[in-house]
Chains A and B, each alone.
Chain A
Amino acid sequence: MRLLELLFETIVYPGALFLSVAVWLTQWYYRKLCARMQNRMGPSYTGPFGILQPIADYLKLFFKEDVSIEGSSPKLATVLLSVAIGSVVALTLMLPIAPWPIMASYDVMLAMYLLVWPTIALALIGVLTPNPFSAIGSSRLFSMTLAYEVAFVASILTPVVLASSFYGAEYSLYLSCLKAWELWFNPLTAVSMALSLLSALLALQCKILAKPFDIPDAETEIVAGPFTEYSGFKLALIFGLHDVEVVVGSLLITMLFFGGPVPFAQLPWYVALIVTVVEYLIVIAIITWIRTITGRFRVDQALALFWKYVLPIATIALIASVIISQVL
């Protein structure tokens, strides 16, 4: 019975089908918003208001030739990308939008592991192709991983630690999402929450390789970095992984820091749904805004930003949350 539940969740909701629709609409909103911020029109001709443009892009790649360069490992690249997408889908099943969630005490460790897979996959697929641009892109990605993944993990752990000590969430991501929003009403924990939210947003920006952190695939310097030699279906998988990361990363922040629909559970279901969607769109808008107003950093500038500012902020928030949870 449990396997059937998992199968339904993986294929329909909140897995593949739901995420496909979410990716489609989020990408349209992301592109349109970015274009309007840059005084452009954005997608306009494919469907009403260009809403079908993301689907058209994926269909085009699906029917394009998949060229595998000599000396590369195309099947291994496909496996890595598929596992990475699978790990992000599994993470979605740990959030409060899942009807039969994956949850256990201390499952935040599992969530951290699943979160790291996309980065590992993207870095490794660059190493799998014989091209200097791919190698340089992968090396940049590996270097940046040491900075932003630590900051992201620390900033996700802060609300989990606080929710576990104040509300008995048992270091479960699902239970923490249900309770962490109440931490904003305590002045002591609100500071830690604000600091970790700030570092989580910046780390997510880096994780999805959006400006100013699009250093590994800087097109004016190294063509497309780790993705240079990929085309057709595998390029669709790369874009798919990126887009799913945007959706799930933003959902994770929405659910963990603001509770999603949980604070409005007393109200009619559609009000809770609308509020959750608005919170999600605000997170996407912040990512888009940062992407639009900034230029690309050099890799050492990005590392310096994370090591000198973002990581200390995330660490201070985490240490403060541990001290608060022990003292209060």
Chain B
Amino acid sequence: MTSLLVSVLEAAFVVLVVLVILFIAYGLSLRATKAVTKSSGEKRRPFACGELLRPSETGVPDASIYWAVWKKLFRSFYNTVRDKVHTGILNDWLFWMFIFMVVLVIIFVVVIK
């Protein structure tokens, strides 16, 4: 049996061959469609719902798309933590931070050991 590094190189060679084949096909496709391609005008502008988009409208803020899903998924967990644990008293917060630090120290000690 060959080494893992050789297998990785063999897989990379396969990927490279496929990349070359598909780029040749891409070139052939571009040549075949050259007669009908007019890559200018409105069809190259960004549209959504029939309206031309301003540059600021073409993206979505990260906070709206990446975190929204997770916030929604863990909403019940957040609610429970907020209602049961969060009291608004500074001493309670210090207590939880102390517990957190103790857990971290235990983890580090176990890992270092």
Measuring CB to CB, which residues of chain A are less than 8 angstroms from any residue of chain B?
2-3, 6-7, 9-11, 15-16, 62-71, 78-79, 81-83, 85-87, 89-90, 93-94, 102-107, 109-110, 114, 130-133, 135-136, 139-140, 142-143, 170, 172, 229, 232-233, 236-237, 299-300, 303-304, 307
Q: List B contacts of A87 (CB < 8 A).
A: 11, 15
Q: Given the complex, which residues of B lie within 8 Å of A170, measured CB to CB? A: 1
Interface flag for B84 (CB, 8 Å): no
Give the distance to chain A from B28, nearest Cβ to Cβ, in Å. 8
Q: A86-B16, A90-B11, A136-B65 are in contact. Are A107 and B46 (CB under 8 A)?
A: no
CB <8 Å contact, A71 and B58: yes
Complex CA–CA separation, A104 to B10 (angstroms): 11
Q: Is the CB of A104 within 8 A of B29?
A: no
Are the CB atoms of B7 and A102 closer together than 8 Å?
yes
Q: Determine whether B18 belongs to the interface, using a CB cutoff of 8 Å to chain A.
A: yes
The answer to whether A107 and B17 touch across the interface, beta carbons within 8 angstroms, is no
Given contacts A143-B66, A233-B25, A299-B69, contact A83 B15 (CB under 8 A): yes
B108 at the interface (CB under 8 A from A): no
Q: Are A232 and B65 in contact (CB under 8 A)?
A: no
Give chain B interface residues in 84-113, CB to chain A under 8 Å: none
Q: A63-B29, A132-B60 are in contact. List 5 more A-B contacts (CB 8 A).
A: A66-B33, A83-B19, A103-B2, A130-B58, A233-B29
B37 (CB) vs chain A CBs: closest residue = A65
| Shortest CB distance A43–B (Å) | 23
**Which of B17, B22, B39, B53 contacts A78 (CB under 8 A)?**
B22
Does B73 contact A304, Cβ atoms closer than 8 Å? yes
- Residue pair B21, A11 in contact (C-beta under 8 Å): yes
Instruction: Report how far A71 CA is from B59 CA in the complex, Å.
Output: 12
Cα distance A6–B14 in the bound complex, in angstroms: 7
| Chain B binding surface, main DSSP class | helix
Give the chain A neighbours of B10 by CB distance below 8 A: 2, 6, 90, 93, 102
| Binary contact readout B57-68 vs A (1 if CB under 8 angstroms, 0 otherwise) | 111100001100
User: Which chain B positions have C-beta within 8 A of A140?
Assistant: 69
* Distance in Å: Cβ of A178 to nearest Cβ of chain B: 13
Q: Which residues from chain B sit less than 8 Å from chain A, CB to CB?
A: 1-4, 6-8, 10-11, 13-19, 21-23, 25-26, 29-30, 32-33, 36-37, 39, 43-46, 48, 53, 55, 57-60, 65-66, 69-70, 72-73
A81 to B37, CA, bound (A): 22
Interface of A is mostly: helix
Residues of B within 8 A of A11 (CB): 17, 21
12 A–B pairs (Cβ distance < 8 Å), ordered by A:
A10-B14, A15-B14, A69-B44, A70-B46, A79-B19, A94-B11, A104-B1, A106-B4, A139-B69, A232-B33, A300-B72, A303-B69
Contacts of A10 in B (CB 8 A): 13-14, 17-18
B43 contact set on A, CB distance < 8 A: 67
> Please, which residues of chain B bring their CB within 8 A of the CB of A172?
1
Rounded to whole angstroms, the CA-CA distance of A201 and B47 in the bound complex is: 38
The smallest beta-carbon distance between B26 and chain A, in angstroms, is 6
Which of B10, B16, B46, B48 has the most chain A CB within a 10 Å cutoff? B10
Minimum CB–CB distance for A190 against chain B, Å? 28
Q: Are A85 and B72 in contact (CB under 8 A)?
A: no
Residues of A within 8 A of B46 (CB): 69-71, 130-131, 229
> What residues of chain B lie closer than 8 Å to A89, measured between beta carbons?
14-15, 18
Question: In the complex the two chains form, is A103's CB within 8 Å of B48's CB?
Answer: no
CA distance A65 to B41 in the complex (A): 14
* Given A10-B17, A82-B18, A233-B30, CB of A110 within 8 Å of CB of B11: yes
Closest to B14 in A: A90
- With A6-B10, A110-B11 known to touch, is A67 a contact of B44 (CB < 8 Å)? yes
B73 pairs with A303, CB closer than 8 A: yes
- Contact, CB under 8 Å: B29 / A62: yes
Complex CA gap A102/B43 in Å reads 45
- Asked if A6 and B32 make an inter-chain contact with CB atoms under 8 angstroms apart, the answer reads no
